[in-house]
Amino acid sequence: MRRWNGWGDEADHFALSEDAQAFLTERLGPSRPPRDATLEQALQTVPDSRLPAGTPFQTDVRVRLLHARGQSFPDWLAMRSGQLGPYADGVALPTSHDEAAQALAVARRVGALVVPYGGGTSVVGHLSVPVSDRPVVNISLERMNRLLAVDERSLLATLGAGTPGPQIEAQLRPHGFLLGHFPQSYEYSTVGGWVVTRSSGQQSLRYGRIEQMFAAGRVITPRGELRVGGVPASSAGPDLRELILGSEGRLGLLTEVTVRVRRIPAVEDFHGVFFPNWDVAIEAVRAMVQADLPLSMLRLSNEVETETQLRLAGHPERVRWLQRYLGMRGIQRGQCMLMMGITGSAVEVRRTRRDALAIAKRFRGVHVGKTLGKSWAKNRFRGPLLRNSLWELGYAVDTVETAVNWPKVTALMRGIEQAAREALATDNERVHAFTHLSHMYRQGCSIYSTFVWRAAGDPAADLERWRRLKTRVSETIVAHGGTISHQHGVGLDHAPYLPAEKGALGMDLIRAAARELDPDQMMNPGKLFA
């Protein structure tokens, strides 16, 4: 059963070794485990529904509570404290496009605001229920989770928008296809959610971001149905798919998604490479990308993340053996770890491995084989479980991500980490900040930073500290010319910073599209823009 107040299944746990706990104490100081609310206590906070009698939505308090929040840090505090409100007044659970259209029509008839719900994995506040005198309903697409059609000649598949990652791949596999979109939220996030937040998967270097995969879609707007895409290419005016990509539920409900699929590859390997320092490591990955090597993934951890990952791995003896080997090869303190994915036919994989390792060697990289890569692949979607374990020990965690051109990468990465470390200095609290580059382009790359700090033990104090930290790092991103989000979207948390990126005229265009399709502004108000 899925956790109601955290990430993942209740039976799934990310155990932290004694060595890992000692590392956290060394970096941040001793912590105190919090006292979390029980589900029974949280259910007591759900008020009566304001929907008119006979409205065909579920109003059960448990159902409403389970759809009240996502996974942003404010959501996390709300869930752990048992104060998840405000709550939607009802939840619709359609199983088809037609049922979703009926649910939206009912919501409009009763004057309700609508918060679309997919997999519940948003980390930037997409699912927060607005405070309003009007009733609010969740339209959850979680039951719209089937493969609807496959066009084997065109390499297209049509899916219900609520289909999560594992079900997508399981339903495509008998046809010999895969989609290849693997965000860290893969186990729970949905194809519709990926589209409306412009998601990016871990192997985007091979498969592309979701905008390259999104071929067509059906959208129910308050004004009627909108169909976008459907042909291989077109010069007939603006591409309306771009309106839906990143729209975050402001324009309507995306109910069906047609994606471009690929044949299942014969071989997939992940290799570990260590570099002596950051400066040579980043030049090595830039050289690989700009050489157009057909890699599926490059994930470069900076020196702090490399140390953190090895200390939290829970295998101190193996790590000591690795460090002895790296030391003999001239790699010591300040080392940076690269995880390299290679996917394709056996011949392609051998050739790409040879070419990539030749570039790595030019930059003093040391190949350590596939053992670390196999471990990474096995645990690639378990990272969010660490948030549960850290919280239970008394530590808070959050992340930010952005993207810039290559000349700005190092300065922005250092700036983000420095801003985070300084954010809680007035409280005499330390922040452990570390970063990796996970999505590479010829032009630049994404920057993904994680922050760990001691929880205050009081929800209000923890929220205030988070706001201070989030503001400092977001302002740093904007000051360096980075996008406010590379892969998580805007939601509530990033909305204040979007105008700096889009400009006043750009924001007017976005708002105009929303007014045209949603004249009553009933769709996910407050998200993306105010």
pLDDT tens digit sequence for 410-451: 999 999 999 999 999 999 999 999 999 999 999 999 999 999
- Say what the pTM is: 0.97
For the segment 187-217, what is each residue's pLDDT rounded down to a tens digit?
A: 999 999 999 999 999 999 999 999 999 999 9
Determine the average pLDDT of the residues in 100-124.
99
pLDDT of 316: 87
CA-CA-CA-CA dihedral for 200, 205, 210, 214, to nearest 10 = 180
> Is the pLDDT at 315 greater than 90, yes or no?
no
Query: Which pLDDT score is estimated for 505?
Result: 99
What band does 57 get if pLDDT is binned at 50, 70 and 90? Answer: very high
Percent of the chain with pLDDT over 70: 100
Active site residue 441: no
Q: How far apart are CA 88 and CA 115, in angstroms?
A: 8
Angle at CA 296, nearest 5°, toward 291 and 302?
Answer: 80
Given the residues 188, 395, 448, 497, select the one marked as catalytic.
Answer: 448
* Binding annotation: 116-122, 197-200, 387
**Mean pLDDT score, 124-140:** 98
Angle at the Cα of 474 (from 470 to 477), degrees rounded to 5? 150
Tell me the C-alpha distance between 96 and 25, whole Å: 50
pLDDT of residue 393: 97
Q: Cα–Cα distance between 511 and 222 in angstroms, integer?
A: 15
pLDDT digits (tens, 9 = 90+) for 133-176: 999 999 999 999 999 999 999 999 999 999 999 999 999 999 99
Q: In sequence order, what are the beta bridge partners of 220? A: 225, 253
Which among 522, 319, 307 has a CA at the least distance from the CA of 436?
307
- CA 128 – CA 125 distance, rounded (Å): 5
pLDDT at 314: 82
Residue 380 C-beta-side C-alpha neighbours within 13 Å: 21
- Residue 22 above 90 pLDDT? yes
Binned at pLDDT 50, 70 and 90, residue 530 comes out as confident
Report how far Cα 69 is from the mean position of its chain's Cα atoms.
15
Measured between alpha carbons, how far is 118 from 436 in angstroms, rounded to an integer? 28
Query: Residue positions in the annotated binding site for substrate?
Result: 387
pLDDT value at residue 219: 99
| Domains by residue range for the chain, with CATH | 46-140 (3.30.43.10), 149-167+174-263 (3.30.465.10), 267-378 (3.30.70.3450), 385-487 (3.30.300.330)
pLDDT, averaged across the chain:
98
Q: What is the mean pLDDT of residues 345-372?
A: 98
Tokens (6 digits) for 289: 């990308």
